Amino acid sequence: MDEQCTTIVIQRYLDSLGEGTPEESVIHALLDRAVRRLNFLSTKLLVRSYPRLTQPPLNLQTDELLSSVTERLIKALRRARPATVRQFFALANQHIRWELNDLARRLDKEPGLIQLKEDLVSASISSDSCISPTGHRMLAAIDALPENEREVFDLVRVQGLTQPEAAELLGVSVTTIKRRLNQSLRLLAEQLSDLRPDAMNREAN
């Protein structure tokens, strides 16, 4: 019930952004109301896909990440006008990923400090050191997915939400989530087909 109430209130704030209410007060109220979900999404992505950012020398904590993401969203919401709760959290997911990618790039030249989870698609690539060219290619392929497929892939395969959790967040059925996830995996497999182990073995012979 509380989650449903949160969704309703967030939608009201989004509606107000398109009206005559002072922007800054609405933006801050919106982010205050959404902080629990933003914290959940930030924690999922940080722990699942960027665990070594939580280790020395960065020692990144979720509250630090959330603070940076909130600053990004304040700036973004001065320009963007997400019309629905789904669009708002899609924008939030994008900025969470961008913030983590920026932090990873700053440490890219420091061997052994960054571990990006690169097993999102089948590939025999090591992620024990910095983000490899292959890792950047994977990120680019994910970003190039159609919006619906990218959104579901981020939530389920990158951030680790269950399919029912993603369905609830996006306001769609679990069947729709499953279909979009399968489509995203098919598109990524096509774009990154040369990274599959059998393709690598053929090139090596």
Contacts of 152 (CB under 8 A, 6+ apart): 166, 170, 177, 180, 181, 184
Q: CATH number of the domain at 116-199, out of 1.20.1530.20, 1.10.10.10, 3.40.50.620, 3.30.420.40?
A: 1.10.10.10
Question: Highest mean pLDDT: which of 32-36, 41-45, 188-192?
Answer: 32-36
Tell me: the pLDDT tens digits for 163-204? 998 888 888 899 999 999 999 999 998 888 877 655 433 433
pLDDT of residue 85: 86
Q: In whole angstroms, what is the distance from residue 193 CA to residue 57 CA? A: 35
Q: CATH number of the domain at 1-112, out of 1.10.3470, 3.40.1350, 1.10.1740, 3.40.50?
A: 1.10.1740
Quick one: which H or E segment has residue 204?
Answer: helix 197-204
Percent of the chain with pLDDT over 90: 31
Q: In whole angstroms, what is the distance from residue 95 CA to residue 101 CA? A: 10
In order of 73, 89, 90, 181, the CA distances from 85 in angstroms are: 14, 6, 9, 20
3-class secondary structure, 113: coil
Interval 77-89 mean pLDDT: 88
Placement of tokens 């983590």 in the chain: 100
Domain boundaries, the chain: 1-112, 116-199
pLDDT of residue 124: 32
Asked if the domains at 1-112 and 116-199 fall in one CATH topology, the answer is no
Question: Highest mean pLDDT: which of 72-76, 89-93, 157-161?
Answer: 72-76
Q: In whole angstroms, what is the distance from residue 37 CA to residue 187 CA? A: 29
End-to-end CA distance of the chain: 59
Pairwise pLDDT comparison (74 vs 125), residue with the higher score: 74
Q: What confidence category does residue 52 fall into, taking pLDDT thresholds of 50, 70 and 90?
A: confident
Question: Omega of the bond prior to 57 within 30 degrees of 0, cis?
Answer: yes
**pTM score, two decimals?**
0.68
